[in-house]
Structure 1
Amino acid sequence: MPDPTRPPARPPARPGARTLWFSAAGLLAAAALALGLNMLAERFATHLRVDLTQARLYTLSDGTRQVLAALREPVTLRLYYSRRLGAEVPAYGAYAERVRDMLGEYVAASGGKLRLEQLDPEPFSDTEDRATALGLQAVPLDQAGEQVFFGLAASNMADEERTIPFFQPERERFLELDLTRLIYDLSSPTRPVVGVLTALPLNGDPRAMMMRQPQLAQPQVVMTQLRQFTTLRDIAPDTQVIDPDIRVLMLVHPQNLPQTTLYAIDQFVMRGGRLLAMLDPHSEMQAARAPGGPGAPPPATSSNLDRLLHAWGVETVSDQVVLDLRGAWRVRAGQNDRVQAVDYVAWFAMQGDSLNRNEPVTAQLEQVSLGSAGLIRPRPGAAIEFTPLLTSSAQSMLMDATRVRVEPNPTRILADFRAEGQRHVIAARLRGALRSAFPDGPPALEEGQERAADMPAHKTASDDIANLVVINDTDILDDRFWVRVENFFGQPMATPFAGNGSFIVNIAEQLGGSDALIGLRSRGESLRPFEVVDAIRRTADAQYRQTERGLQERLEATERRLRELRQGSTAPAGERSQSLITPEQRAEIDRAREEIANTRRQLRSVQLELRRDIEALETNLRIINIALVPLLITGLAIGLALLRARRRSAARA
């Protein structure tokens, strides 16, 4: 029996309550640990980042770190940002945070060589006057006329200054390039000298006002970019000697050069000069600016450098152009065309494996656009090293250049397109020991011409390994093929949609011996086209054009036969002249009308039939995006739940 004098024993604590207390204590400890780690990171690891983006957009590139490591003297960065701008336009406020964070990364990686100041230029303040004096762009915020700033000014110990007048959110993907270029300009006082010999108005067309096209008076954007990194110097087309100070010679669309100039180019390369030769079977830029009207003879729009390139072991084809269905531009179709837009396979964007990923100048480019380009190939038995930079896809073919020179018809060109399954090189790097194209010495002078006094000694072979780049297209420099230039409060703003400018500047800098910004500049373009759908659409469109042309020819023949039948036969002489139609002709007319109606129905239906692949793919993608992915996640969750339940059952057993 239990002892009545003894107090009853305290019931033991419930296991559930004890577990609850331990869990709460664990949560508090975890929260304290997380808070402590955050405080330590804020204090000692401010710039520690983990970049999980595919293109590593938030990580300073090797080129930027190379430029920062090469700083020989301190550089001061002054960010002028009006807080009122961020308050009124939140998009600029978010972008300002992005700019500040990036500048902080620069300062942290500079080893103390960069100093950052952040200033708010309030209206009528000394800071505002200083921002205006530095050339930063003031933008009106409202109708009251209050102006705001969002720019950067940098200066070195020699009081040299560089500025970014206004940060545009549209250029966010070029932010690192713009910042690094600004610092590079202050840290590199000497730039490679690039000589430019061209027959094209790359620095603006002086006839722009006469042509009533003032926009043509502006230089091409690629020339503006080259001036930011190099010193450009114009070369006369009749020069006899290339100045030895010139490191890179940029030869663009050479036409009818005298033999003395060709000799000067040859000897420049023999003495170790670097050459960028840009030729063209048909220059769209030259054709668009050619004078004359209807009935005028077509201008000469091709160029070559056969005398030199043949001697060096390479040739450029100037009577054929490369057509490429992959990446073809959509252009306005003809007035009588049933479809408003058509793929113009003579103009195309090179993407993916068309860009050599093993070469620094093209390794990180996303897209390069060309117009009426030609091919390059090594000559049989040539000992020169031939490295392709730009290559067409296998969906390409060659076509007579006259088809694009005289009234090109994109619809007919597409209808005649047949992919040959062969790829064609359009740009290539050449390296090797070269023999002079003038083995017997300088050519004879023309009558009345005198030999230059500073003519160097003749060289029959290159002093060292020659390094040159040949591109069989000059329209790569034309703004309309790669960049949009818009007006932003009186200032031109260039927004590239292709990497043409980066490609040319990369080549010039690498040939000139400075390639720190090549990888960085190539990160600028971030175009990611829907390649699968686009390829199906282009193939369907090409098939449609081929089918359409056959039906159109049959329709025209039937309509021509119908007109002949309607004329009937001539009445006998002496009777009233009139057209007589026999019953047989009437039956033939009815059959022709029925055939015309059937042909037109086929023309209307053929494109719809050929688009079924695209519509089916779009439907499948919608199913995958809407249903399949959630189903997969749900299935994974159910599988994990079943696995956990099975493990618990096994543990209890």
Structure 2
Amino acid sequence: MKKQSYVSLGSLVLLLILFIALNMISGNLLKGFRLDLTENRLFTLSEGTVNILQDLEEPVTLYFYFSQDASREIPAVRAYAKRVNELLDEFVDRSSGLLSIKRIDPKPFSEEEDQAAAFGLQAAPINTAGDTLYFGIAGSNSLDDVQVMPFLQPSKEKFLEYDLAKMVSSLGQPERKVLGILSTLRMSGGYDPAAGMTEPWVVYQQLEQLFELRTVDASAGEVPPEVDVLMLVHPRDLAQDMLYAIEQFVLRGGGLVAFVDPFAESDRGDPNDPMAQMQMGSSSSLGSLLDAWGIDYDPSRVVGDLQFGIGNGAQRHIGILSVPADGMNDENIVSADLEVVNFSSAGWLKPDENAQTTFEVLVESSENAAPMDASRLRFLANPNDLLDGFKPSGERYPLAVRVTGPARASMPAPVEAAVEHRDASVEAGINVLLMADSDLLTDRMWVQVQPLFGATAFADNGNLAINAVDNMLGNRDLISIRTRATSARPFDRVEEIRVAAERSFRQTEERLQLELEETERRLTELQAAKGEGDLTVISDEQQEEIQRFMDRRLEIRRELRQVQHDLRRDIDRLDTRIKVVNIVLVPALVMVMALAYAMRRRRRQRQPQSMEAEA
């Protein structure tokens, strides 16, 4: 018996040693190996992110500033900080040694806090005592370029991977492509005689972070030779020499992203002109260039849409469209994965019957749409007026398209041409992205700007514009990075119970209010019927009415309490089931499996003994 005890003890010691040894060996041999079993692949980087990390040309250092002490009473922020740390570790593991992370806790009045402020990170106040929280990332490379994410908001977790990959990409590949912007609108901000100093549009700021921007003067008559992609925003009243330069740029293989508009609401006209109100909502086009590329476009008409128009019922505005994923081409990398894009007084584009080019729709209206005269929007006071005489045509109207393929010049060479004239496109053909709205780029259509937390997007307008430019430059990695699912896993069933109970509670509450109003009306009528001389006398009928109301009010209050009790009861029942499964059922299942294994093993051990006894 003692011998068996020593053997058992020795076996346990050997198992313990073997367990420790296996952990040490696997820690070295399987370093970097991860198995992601989460439903939304939370711990797996997108292929585009991996490509960016492996193609780094410069060492990049990211500084993660997080206030540990200030965040102790904010569990949601600490949980998100943990997710950020995990994602940063994953970035480092895939970067082949060119990416490093420095984690810094900026204590109050410390050098680290001064460094965070110097980077431009934002300190968020967390209480009335003046305590602040730093939660941001700064990045730099060997050329002293700096990129900053001032404050990481938990509500933007699904964009975290993209934002980090964009920062690393811009720092790790410092030679940025040149984007030329020709705009008749004040995208870059500056002094506005009507509004004073204005900030650049958010989309302009994002483009500035990703690309080297060049302002193209509409009166220059040429596209600067260093421009890789040209963006036109509301190209209104362009001279012939500028149109010629744009066409030649496209025929030579240059990428073009153009935002034309039949009614540009952001074009306020000349503030020094007393008739500026009449100039608001000007139209823009590219004239003969669109004809040469096989595109039909009417700069005097806009698209109205009953289905995609914003608002509900009498408040619906069919001229402002909120296009969901159903209206986007999920086969094109520019528009795939976008959830919603907002348009305002947008036109539409369609292929000419004799077009030699290829026409691909990126974003389109619903079938409950129809054209309207743009003039109806100029002095529109009530959006309901647009519904007068509006009849959907049953067609879908393309709002954003891609045009590729062979094309010929529509304009002859000027007498003194600065560059060699091309009569036709290069062998690869033209590559043009056209959108029939410029207002979609304005902040009001897709982003909310807050002084502390910066810009919070409620639509994908900015992503659409940046995807378009990225695609023209061939930068497919950034576009392909999927929107990362959030780590928060809400209790959907609990939420459904809560919403259903709240709906019942509201209905009961509304019934109480209606009965209250009816009783008060009835009491007023009874009091008025008594005459002025008897205003202070309460009749038997009034007393009965008051008593009936009081009894009914108590009854309805009991019903309200019952609804709340039922709400809590259903949630508690579900909570109990989950606890039973986690605390009892799962361990019981493991125990049953262990007993089954033990019985099977004992049966195998007995078989040789029985065979020996029989022999």
TM above 0.5:
yes
| 1:308 match | 289
Deviations 1:502-528 (A, max 9, x none): 1101111211232321122766999xx
Q: What TM-score comes out, normalization by structure 1 length?
A: 0.67
Distance 1:245 1:522, change over 3 A: farther
Tell me if 1:194 matches 2:179: yes
Displacement of 1:305: 1.1
Given candidates 50, 53, 71, the residue that maps to 2:36 is 50
> Does the 8 Å contact 1:330/1:344 carry over to 2?
yes
| 1:442 match | 414
> Does the 8 Å contact 1:298/1:406 carry over to 2?
no
> Does the 8 Å contact 2:230/2:255 carry over to 1?
yes
Distance 1:515 1:354, change over 3 A: same
Tell me if 1:114 matches 2:99: yes
Q: Which amino acid aligns with 2:367?
A: A
In 1, Cα distance between equivalents of 2:18 and 2:272? 76
Mapping 1:439-518, distance limit 5 Å = 440-442=412-414, 455-464=418-427, 465-488=429-452, 493-518=454-479
Distance 1:368 1:300, change over 3 A: closer
| 1:222 match | 203
Given candidates 344, 348, 351, the residue that maps to 2:321 is 348
| 1:401 match | 374
Secondary structure in 2 matching 1:418? coil
Q: Which amino acid aligns with 1:518?
A: I
Displacement of 1:295: 10
Secondary structure in 1 matching 2:481? helix
Distance 1:36 1:354, change over 3 A: farther
Tell me if 1:427 matches 2:427: no
Mapping 1:205-220, distance limit 5 Å = 206-207=191-192, 210-211=193-194, 213=195, 217-220=198-201
Mapping 1:148-227, distance limit 5 Å = 148-204=133-189, 206-207=191-192, 210-211=193-194, 213=195, 217-227=198-208
Q: Which amino acid aligns with 1:483?
A: V
| 2:243 match | 262
Deviations 1:4-42 (A, max 9, x none): xxxxxxxxxxxxxxxxxxxxxxxxxx9999999999887
Distance 1:84 1:311, change over 3 A: same
| 2:4 match | none
Q: Which amino acid aligns with 1:379?
A: D
In 2, Cα distance between equivalents of 1:206 and 1:97? 43
Alignment size in residue pairs:
489
Distance 1:49 1:419, change over 3 A: farther
| 2:224 match | 243
Deviations 1:253-304 (A, max 9, x none): 1121111111111111122211112111111211598677799535461111
In 1, Cα distance between equivalents of 2:246 and 2:115? 48
Displacement of 1:47: 5.9
In 1, Cα distance between equivalents of 2:390 and 2:486? 30
> Does the 8 Å contact 2:247/2:409 carry over to 1?
yes
> Does the 8 Å contact 1:498/1:525 carry over to 2?
no
Tell me if 1:411 matches 2:411: no
**Among the aligned pairs, what percent are the same residue?**
37
> Does the 8 Å contact 1:367/1:499 carry over to 2?
yes
Secondary structure in 2 matching 1:149? strand
In 2, Cα distance between equivalents of 1:288 and 1:58? 51
Displacement of 1:136: 2.9
In 1, Cα distance between equivalents of 2:414 and 2:273? 38
Q: Which amino acid aligns with 2:425?
A: S
Distance 1:382 1:126, change over 3 A: same
In 2, Cα distance between equivalents of 1:291 and 1:312? 38
Distance 1:521 1:48, change over 3 A: closer
Q: Which amino acid aligns with 2:449?
A: V
Displacement of 1:137: 2.9
Distance 1:460 1:137, change over 3 A: same
In 2, Cα distance between equivalents of 1:522 and 1:291? 45
Distance 1:377 1:523, change over 3 A: farther
Q: Where does structure 1 lack aligned partners over 5 or more consecutive residues?
A: 1-29, 332-338, 444-450, 527-621, 638-653
Distance 1:493 1:40, change over 3 A: farther
In 2, Cα distance between equivalents of 1:432 and 1:517? 25
Displacement of 1:105: 1.3
Displacement of 1:382: 0.8
> Does the 8 Å contact 2:157/2:484 carry over to 1?
no
Q: Which amino acid aligns with 2:410?
A: A
Displacement of 1:328: 1.7
In 2, Cα distance between equivalents of 1:295 and 1:267? 34
Of the structure 1 ranges 99-108 and 134-143, higher mean CA displacement relative to structure 2 is found in 134-143
> Does the 8 Å contact 1:362/1:522 carry over to 2?
no
Distance 1:368 1:34, change over 3 A: farther
Distance 1:314 1:522, change over 3 A: farther
> Does the 8 Å contact 1:502/1:521 carry over to 2?
no
Q: Which amino acid aligns with 2:160?
A: L
Secondary structure in 2 matching 1:225? helix
Mapping 1:628-643, distance limit 5 Å = none
Tell me if 1:137 matches 2:141: no
| 2:593 match | none
Q: Which amino acid aligns with 1:50?
A: D
Deviations 1:571-596 (A, max 9, x none): xxxxxxxxxxxxxxxxxxxxxxxxxx
Distance 1:525 1:167, change over 3 A: closer
Deviations 1:87-141 (A, max 9, x none): 1322221221111111111112223332222222223333333333333333445
> Does the 8 Å contact 1:177/1:524 carry over to 2?
no
Distance 1:327 1:227, change over 3 A: same
In 1, Cα distance between equivalents of 2:375 and 2:19? 72
Mapping 1:9-28, distance limit 5 Å = none
> Does the 8 Å contact 1:193/1:246 carry over to 2?
yes
> Does the 8 Å contact 1:312/1:437 carry over to 2?
no
Tell me if 1:252 matches 2:233: yes
Given candidates 301, 317, 323, the residue that maps to 2:304 is 323
Of the structure 1 ranges 282-291 and 493-502, higher mean CA displacement relative to structure 2 is found in 282-291
Given candidates 44, 51, 57, the residue that maps to 1:72 is 57
In 1, Cα distance between equivalents of 2:93 and 2:351? 49
Secondary structure in 2 matching 1:286? coil
Mapping 1:81-96, distance limit 5 Å = 81-96=66-81
Q: Which amino acid aligns with 2:328?
A: L
Q: Which amino acid aligns with 2:210?
A: F
Of the structure 1 ranges 508-517 and 144-153, higher mean CA displacement relative to structure 2 is found in 144-153
Distance 1:288 1:327, change over 3 A: farther
> Does the 8 Å contact 1:499/1:525 carry over to 2?
no
> Does the 8 Å contact 1:279/1:304 carry over to 2?
yes
Displacement of 1:63: 1.5
In 2, Cα distance between equivalents of 1:157 and 1:192? 19
Structure 1 vs Structure 2 CA RMSD: 3.9
| 1:642 match | none
> Does the 8 Å contact 1:51/1:59 carry over to 2?
no
Distance 1:522 1:266, change over 3 A: farther
Secondary structure in 2 matching 1:86? coil
Given candidates 337, 360, 364, the residue that maps to 1:391 is 364
Given candidates 333, 339, 343, the residue that maps to 1:370 is 343
Deviations 1:520-567 (A, max 9, x none): 2766999xxxxxxxxxxxxxxxxxxxxxxxxxxxxxxxxxxxxxxxxx
Displacement of 1:155: 2.9
